[in-house]
Structure 1
Amino acid sequence: MNRNLLAIAAACFIGFAGFTLAMPFLPLYFAQLGMRDAADIALWSGLSLGVTPGMTALLAPLWGRVADRYGTKFLVLRSLVCFVITMVLMGLVTRPWHIFGLRVLQGFFAGYGALAVSMAAQSAPLDRMASAIGTVQTAQRLGPAVGPVIGGVLAVAIGIRATFFVSSLFYLAALILVWRWFEEPPRTPRTTAPARTPQQPGFVSGAAFQQFVLLMGVIFGLQLVDRSFGPVLPLYLELLGVPADRIALAAGVLFSAVAGAGAIGNLVTQRLLHRLAPRALLRYTALAAAAGLLPFVLEWSLGALIAAALVFGFAIGVAMTASFTAAGHVVPEHARATGFGLLTSASLAGLSVSPMASGVLARISIRSVFIVGVITLAVLSAMVSYVMRDRVEQAAYPSVEET
């Protein structure tokens, strides 16, 4: 399992780094393709970034059946092959709608990032679930921490169009890594689910089901806010007066600050969950993330925005890992695959809606994207405070009572 975890985490790091070499600069690429209106650029960027996870969420049940027959390694490999090819094609496009069409195609085969989180959670014992999830999510955060900075340098040195070709090479490296290192565990025949003990929260029991639905909403909301930057950040920096030749680099630094701080948050969540109950941890981190967005609403200086991005990224990273871990403790062993499938769908739905909503909001005001983010995080904090049940937390986290 350690070899498999390392293989999938490394593939996530390389793949996510390759993705963020070029995709954060999609608004600038649309401008190079002939679009001039900032609102149209934001809308097309949002639609292009959001359509892939949206398609993935819709097709998740189909690919789940394919996984039952052929295994998860097959799903990851076909996803990486698709990205190798489509990233090359994105570097050859001549019209904005070509990008959108290729992103639709990616949606038919994408989703290995969310699948990796589910695989890590399902393969880990309960007391190490947060660590396993955190490892994969850290890799998924560190990739985007490195990618935008490299992509910003490449955009200046060789141009955004050529950066898509470099991105394809990253996906090729991830493909080889999974193909050679990852060993598909033997699939055991499905057996009758064991009876639940009175002490174990069941998936269909009232309190456990209520918390699970809440955490699905929290994961959706966190993804909604976390990925709202993509379509608007370069345009936002332009409004702040950042010189045109420095926008790509400045955007890359901000994206990397969020991703790097998020990776640290993923790693420390295991320790924090031994000190704080999930409800308290989620409440505080949602409020901290909202505070990290306020400087963007107030249009502070670039240096202040970088510091705010670090706060925002760390809080989001902790909250995401804590949400998946808390939900994993609620779902009993025999329903773990079903439970994490639903969590993955919530995550993908957030990934899909977020850039689309940002693109629409940007037509009203680019700053409104950050205002809505602050409001969303405040609502999530309130929901966790008033809906999450202490007795379910204590059943899942007995160590919290001892601290």
Structure 2
Amino acid sequence: MSQPPDGPRLSTLILLSALCILPINIFLPSLTGMAAEFDVDYGVIGLSLAGYAGASAVLQIVLGPLSDRFGRRPVILGGLAIFLVATLGCIFAPNIWSFLGFRLLQAVIAPTYAVALAVIRDTTGKEEAASRIGYVAMAWAVAPMLGPSLGGLLDENFGWRASFWFLEAFALAIFALCWSDLRETNLSPSASLCAQFRTYPDLLAARRFWAYALCMAFSVGAFFAFLAGAPLAAGYAYDLSPAALGLAMGSITCGFMFGSFLSGRFAGRFRLTEMMLAGRTLACAGLLLGLALYAAGADHVMALLGPCMLVGVSNGLTIPSANAGAISVRPQLAGSAAGLASAITVAGGAAMSSVASAVLTPENARYALLLVMLGSAAIAFATALIAHLLERERS
């Protein structure tokens, strides 16, 4: 059996992961000022967020197969190069429509996270891949926490374009780092691009892939439900200030960082599905505890946030292993699997966010949020159990 190729330093992939997520929200504190400068309604400038998310979801499906056909290195370096050009376009955009066009082009950086996961799978076994993905996921979690704060400081001192200048400098540094450190790890590229895209039915027919991907989707779904419902549940019920509400909403992300750290430490010692089941059990138990506290009349904000923080920890335990499992179902299709799994995960998060927004009202927000999150976590538990049973059948 051939030895796996040498991979890049873990720090390279961690920094690339941070760059993949930072552009989503670093400029959010500047939206009102940008709307005023471009002389457009706030809803128009808001397209810079919604359009970016939509473009990144589509590109997840495209760049994965491209990396299986042409290699991980050219896809990552090409994505970084396009991002550098697009970011300059955002900085010097003369009007809102050119800005939005370059902003959509910036979305090419987001799917390079999935390609980075394929690099990890190329160079490690399944369990070790979950461990490394756990550390990479910590950057994926901390970047959106720090992004708005950094963007706000840059805007306050230098104007909204400073956030994009920061992204330009950061991306240039990552490009140089990947150029020197990222060797090609896909040693068995597919014969043609058409042949590569024809592999999607093979993935879609694999029950284990669906079990891993849906576990990720509904694990992330509970997180997105929290983001959609927490401002109403915590803000209305406990009359939190905007600053306090922001800190409260960061609690689940802090939990995710801690869970990802635990995955980095322990995933290599346990089966992937064992880590997933442990995480899903913690999520369901935490949310049931929250409902029990509500039924008992506990009237403190931590009665809501504490259980939600446990969901963050559980996601940190689950998602690296589920990711490693999804891209290991067909190792020769790791890039395609990573991209498709990421697209399914984004769809699951969007669906649960919509459910939370539709169901919650000021009167029911405290317990309804926990119920929606519990429903998503329970589906994730069921799919983790299915993945466990399917893996036992194979062994």
List gaps (5 residues or longer) in structure 1: 192-202, 397-403
Could you tell me which residue of structure 2 aligns to residue 172 of structure 1? 172
* 1:215 partner letter: Y
Q: Which runs of no fewer than 5 residues in structure 2 stay unpaired? A: 192-200
Is 2:224–2:349's contact at 8 Å kept on the other side of the alignment?
yes
CA displacement at 1:108 relative to structure 2: 4.8
- 1:317 and 1:394, CA in 2 relative to 1: closer, same or farther beyond 3 A? farther
**Is the Cα contact below 8 Å between 1:289 and 1:316 reproduced in 2?**
no
**Is the CA contact 1:148–1:252 (under 8 Å) kept in the aligned structure 2?**
no
Change (3 A) 1:317 1:133: same
Q: Who is 2:69 aligned against?
A: 68
Q: 1:121 to 1:61 in 2, by over 3 A?
A: closer
Shift of 1:116: 0.7
- Cα pair 1:56 1:108 within 8 Å, conserved: yes
Contact 1:17 1:144 in 2 (8 A): yes
**Aligned partner of 1:133: which letter?**
I
**Paired position in structure 2 for 1:287:** 284
Determine whether 1:19 maps to 2:23.
Answer: yes
Change (3 A) 1:214 1:263: closer
Partners of 1:369 and 1:42 in 2: CA distance: 29
Aligned to 1:401: none
- CA shift at 1:321, angstroms? 1.6
The reply to whether residue 325 of structure 1 matches residue 330 of structure 2 is no
Please name the residue that 1:266 is paired with: 263
How many angstroms apart in 2 are the aligned matches of 1:172 and 1:14?
A: 14
1:118–1:344 Cα contact (<8 Å) kept: no
CA displacement, residues 105-132 of structure 1 (integer Å, 9 cap, x when unaligned):
2345641101111210122134533223
The number of aligned residues is 369
| Cα shift at 1:139 | 3.8
2:316 is matched by which residue type in structure 1?
A: G
Contact persistence 2:14–2:139 (CA under 8 A): yes
* RMSD value, Cα: 4.8
TM-superposition CA deviations, 1:80-139 (whole Å, max 9, x none): 233334345445669877665444323456411011112101221345332233343334
Amino acid at match of 1:324: N
CA contact (8 A) 1:215 1:323 kept: yes
Task: Determine the structure 1 residue equivalent to 2:55.
Answer: 52
Q: Secondary structure at the match of 1:33?
A: helix
| In structure 1, distance between residues paired with 2:96 and 2:245 | 19
From 8, 17, 26, the equivalent of 1:4 is 8
SS of the residue aligned with 1:323?
Answer: helix
Matched-pair contact (CA < 8 Å) for 2:261–2:316: yes
Q: Distance in 2 between matches of 1:375 and 1:317?
A: 18
Return the offset for 1:359: 6.6
**Distance in 1, Cα, partners of 2:124 & 2:13:** 14
Q: Name the structure 2 match of 1:345.
A: 340
* CA apart distance, 1:181: 1.9
The reply on whether 1:162 has 2:162 as its aligned counterpart is: yes
Distance 1:292 1:159 in 2: 45
What SS class does the counterpart of residue 207 from structure 2 fall into? helix
**CA offsets 1:43-78 (integer angstroms, 9 cap, x no match):** 8576235213322134236624xx533x31111112
Equivalences for residues 340-379 of structure 1 within 5 A: 341-351=336-346, 354-355=349-350, 358=353, 362=357, 372-379=372-379
Q: Measured at CA, do residues 226 and 8 of structure 1 come closer, stay the same or move farther in structure 2, by a change above 3 Å?
A: farther
C-alpha deviation, 1:282, in angstroms: 5.0
The letter for the 1-side match of 2:375 is I
The separation in 2 between residues aligned to 1:355 and 1:138, in whole angstroms, is 22
Distance 2:309 2:221 in 1: 18
Distance 1:252 1:370, change over 3 A: closer
1:14–1:170 contact (8 Å) kept in structure 2: no
Partner of 2:105: 105
| Separation in structure 1 between the aligned mates of residue 50 and residue 230 of structure 2, nearest angstrom | 15
Q: Which moved more, 1:113-122 or 1:162-171?
A: 162-171
Distance 1:8 1:79, change over 3 A: same
Shift of 1:163: 2.6
Aligned AA for 1:116?
A: A
Deviation at 1:150, TM superposition (A): 3.7
Q: Displacement, 1:177? A: 1.2
- Give TM-score, length-normalised by structure 1: 0.69
Offset, 1:179 = 1.4
Aligned partners of 1:356, 1:44: CA distance in 2, in Å? 19
Residue 195 of structure 2: aligned partner:
none
**Alpha-carbon distance between aligned partners in 1 of 2:45 and 2:224, rounded to the nearest angstrom:** 14
Query: Does the 8 A contact of 2:127 with 2:269 survive in 1?
Result: no
Contact 1:20 1:151 in 2 (8 A): no
CA offset at residue 13 of structure 1? 4.5
CA contact (8 A) 1:60 1:345 kept: no
Q: In structure 1, give the amino acid aligned to 2:167.
A: S
Amino acid at match of 2:340: S
Seen in structure 2, the aligned counterparts of structure 1 residues 227 and 131 have a Cα distance that, compared at 3 Å, is same
5 Å matches for 1:20-39? 22=26, 25=28, 29=31, 33=35
| Conservation of the 8 A alpha-carbon contact between 2:118 and 2:327 | no
Once the two structures are TM-superposed, the CA of residue 167 in structure 1 deviates from its matched residue by 2.8
Report if aligned partners of 2:286, 2:310 keep a CA contact under 8 Å in 1: yes
Cα displacement (A) at 1:18: 3.7
Deviations along 1:188-240, whole A, 9 cap, x unmatched? 5779xxxxxxxxxxx989xx943332222222323344456667877887766
Structure 1 Cα separation of the partners of residues 119 and 163 of structure 2: 31
> 1: CA distance between counterparts of 2:221 and 2:355?
14
Residues 132-281 of structure 1 aligned to structure 2 (within 5 Å): 132-151=132-151, 153-154=153-154, 158=158, 162-185=162-185, 187-188=187-188, 209-227=206-224, 241-243=239-241, 246=243, 250=247, 253-254=250-251, 257-270=254-267, 273=270, 277=274, 280-281=277-278
Deviates more, 1:106-115 or 1:1-10: 1-10
